[in-house]
Structure 1
């Protein structure tokens, strides 16, 4: 009996949509949309501060540290970023597929490099629909074939070459 090929969705947690007004009342919040990402740096560089009562309709995903954001529109542009500590609790646009790795199963840095690789971007471009405004759905992204190495190997691959291996192993990886 053949086993089904694993998919990216097997390695990430589900994300529930939220209402910024419910979370923040009449306070402001940090909003991350596609324009907030610097494509060259692949980082969140210009998030907005928005009053909750003026939240864009796409403001629905609460970020956590090391979430990986990938734009669902124009996948050829490779608009990807990893959420740093300073943007934990920000609200991301539903224009992103927010990928939160299953702890102990998928390393966020490994995921970030994989999802932004030329091979993966090419797959997404081929799967995009719409000629003038090509897009992929979250469902398509999460259904990509994905068979990562062991968690230990993922972590080892992401360690800078100047880090002593014993220090890495001591951290419980």
Structure 2
């Protein structure tokens, strides 16, 4: 066995020349959102032709190609192309890995890209803060120990058998999380629905924007520190800082909202603001902060990719009931969410354990190649 670069065991791929193709021929187009990040499958595609193809619709894919999303690579958009998408088109946001089957199997390449070693390599290699990415060349520079084809097939067979059971458990946990999310959504709808006495306002008229002295770029975030950083990313706390002079210390709680991500956070402690799209709302007199937070959860903005969304939110119409009605709604939702949040933590803990088991099996399988 020898150490090789991933590019050494791949065949060349090609891009489509739209001018040379029949103008009305229809192709299935796989973009970054087409790949389910938990199931690692293509779940939806759009139909395109030479007349309406997006500029990123360039790469020709074939059966058993491995697709890896190079834009925001840690989101783990990864799949093997099934036969139904043979000779179709994918986005330039994917690196297309076509195995040279004289040297490596497609499934071995797929599993290789799920290993901790590859994930850590990508994390160390990616460039950019708000829109991190790696290049196709970066992916193909990854080094690994190449076993024989016979040994590769044994590794894949062992992992396929083990992961089939693991995937069933994972699907169950994710279904449980979906059910909890649906319950929370129904509770929000029940208690945040419009009352007859509600007053209507534009969103921008019921809040004031809190403007921090300074917002920190993601590359400045510390892994440890005295004060938490709250930004627009999905995780609640996104880093730490030590300079108290830029700390946001309000007299009451605030709502943090992601202009790019539309992520909503209720923050009732001093914090430092992250940059690039972090909006901080303080409601006007007569509007409860927690009620505003729940209203934002109950009325999400339709996502426009990584565009800015506040221009849509600020024009949204909000039906505001009396403060007494708001507080009753908050109390009721708090009571239910206290229980559902415990369920979410329980299911997420089990998913973490499943992920740990998957990585343990991968490490064990690939350690036999060293």
- TM-score (structure 1 length as normaliser): 0.86
How far did residue 72 of structure 1 move?
0.6
Given the alignment of the two structures, is residue 15 of structure 1 paired with residue 13 of structure 2, yes or no? yes
How far did residue 149 of structure 1 move?
0.9
Q: Which residue number corresponds to residue 138 of structure 1? A: 136
Q: Which residue number corresponds to residue 245 of structure 2? A: none
Q: Distance in 2 between matches of 1:106 and 1:115?
A: 13
Q: Distance in 1 between matches of 2:76 and 2:103?
A: 24
For residues 40-81 of structure 1, give each alpha carbon's deviation from its aligned partner in whole angstroms, at most 9, with x where no partner exists.
100111111113211111111111111000001111111101
2:101 to 89, 100, 103: 103
Q: Which residue number corresponds to residue 33 of structure 1? A: 31
Q: Which residue number corresponds to residue 4 of structure 2? A: 6
Q: After TM superposition, what 4+ stretches of structure 1 lie above 3 angstroms from structure 2? A: 160-163
CA contact (8 A) 2:4 2:146 kept: no
Q: Distance in 2 between matches of 1:23 and 1:62?
A: 13
CA contact (8 A) 1:70 1:98 kept: yes
CA contact (8 A) 2:3 2:146 kept: no
Structure 1: gaps (5+ residues): 164-173
How far did residue 5 of structure 1 move?
4.9
Given the alignment of the two structures, is residue 155 of structure 1 paired with residue 153 of structure 2, yes or no? yes
**Relative contact order: is structure 1 or structure 2 higher (C-alpha 8 Å, sep ≥ 6)?**
1
User: RMSD of the alignment, in Å?
Assistant: 1.9
Q: Distance in 2 between matches of 1:84 and 1:115?
A: 18
Q: Alpha carbons of 1:155 and 1:5: their partners in 2 closer, same or farther (altered >3 Å)? A: closer
- TM-score (structure 2 length as normaliser): 0.41
Q: Distance in 2 between matches of 1:117 and 1:24?
A: 41
Q: Which residue number corresponds to residue 166 of structure 1? A: none
How far did residue 120 of structure 1 move?
0.7
Give the structure with higher Rg (CA). Answer: 2
Match of 1:49, SS state, is strand
Q: Which residue number corresponds to residue 121 of structure 2? A: 123
CA contact (8 A) 1:63 1:92 kept: yes
Q: Which residue number corresponds to residue 68 of structure 1? A: 66
Alignment of 1:46-85 (within 5 A): 46-85=44-83
CA contact (8 A) 1:21 1:53 kept: no
How far did residue 142 of structure 1 move?
0.4
For residues 90-136 of structure 1, give each alpha carbon's deviation from its aligned partner in whole angstroms, at most 9, with x where no partner exists.
10111100000001211100110111223211210110000111100
How far did residue 153 of structure 1 move?
0.6
Q: Distance in 2 between matches of 1:113 and 1:82?
A: 10
